Amino acid sequence: MAYLQTITRLWTVMPRRQHKEWWLLAVALVMASAFSVAMIAQGDFLANVGFLVLGALIAVLTVLLGDTVKRPAQARDLARALFQELADRVARCCFDCERPWNKYVDSNNCVPGNMDSFRLRKFAPIPPIIYSSTASQLALLSGDAPQALIQFYYRLAAWERDIENIAVESQDNKGGIAPDAVHLLAIRVHQTLAPGLRALQALSPLIEAHEQIEATAIAGYDETRSRDPITGTLRNRIRRLIGEKT
């Protein structure tokens, strides 16, 4: 019968990795369909009961199938919005790490006068807006994307927090930011790169033309660097910074 075929379709389109309640619901739907068929076969007033159960079953299946069909589209829309913001934040971290922070990972390059409080605050990242407002919907994303996003934005928040704390502590220091603080900040921004790369990789399967989005994000920052420009894709530039082969 048509509604039994619908149940079969629902089972086939549901992701393998579903919560336990989905399996229990599927079993309940099968039992309800068998009950309705049995009632209809009895005739008389029991047939009315069977048809009522069947109508309720069809309504439930309609809602479930609608959600099953809409979920991939919702995931793609969410992923695209998150990816636009993510690419911008990762590009900024990469750009800042290339110059000047990468050289300060070596503590020997950290000397008094490298950085002052006013200049340091210019590196503070803009807090994410889309990620914060859609955090409750991250479960729509498949695979490792939610975890990858959380890990990157955790590192970004640590980078922002240390910038603010050290800038406040050093604003009255005539010698600028202490060398050990500069070294710590260089480590913090460097720690955003690998999680940022993983987040881009996790989301990109859901995004059309993700290469163009990444290229546009890093190009926007490269425009401010007219002398000795650094070339390469955003991902390759990150890989060079973290020591991976491109």
Measured from the Cβ of residue 151, the count of other Cβ atoms closer than 10 Å reads 18
Quick: pLDDT tens for 41-94: 776 666 666 666 666 666 666 665 656 566 677 888 999 999 999 999 999 999
Instruction: Please tell me the predicted confidence (pLDDT) of residue 62.
Output: 64
**pLDDT of the residue at 226:** 78
Tell me what pLDDT residue 136 has: 87
Spatial CB neighbours of 51, under 8 Å, sequence gap ≥ 6: 36, 40
Compute the distance between CA of residue 156 and CA of residue 164 in angstroms, rounded to an integer.
13
Q: What is the pLDDT of residues 17-45, one digit of tens each?
A: 444 555 666 666 666 667 666 666 776 66
Q: What is the pLDDT of residue 233?
A: 96
Residue ranges per structural domain of the chain: 2-69, 75-242
Rounded Cα distance between 171 and 166, Å, is 8
For range 235-239, the mean pLDDT: 97
> What pLDDT is attached to residue 168?
93
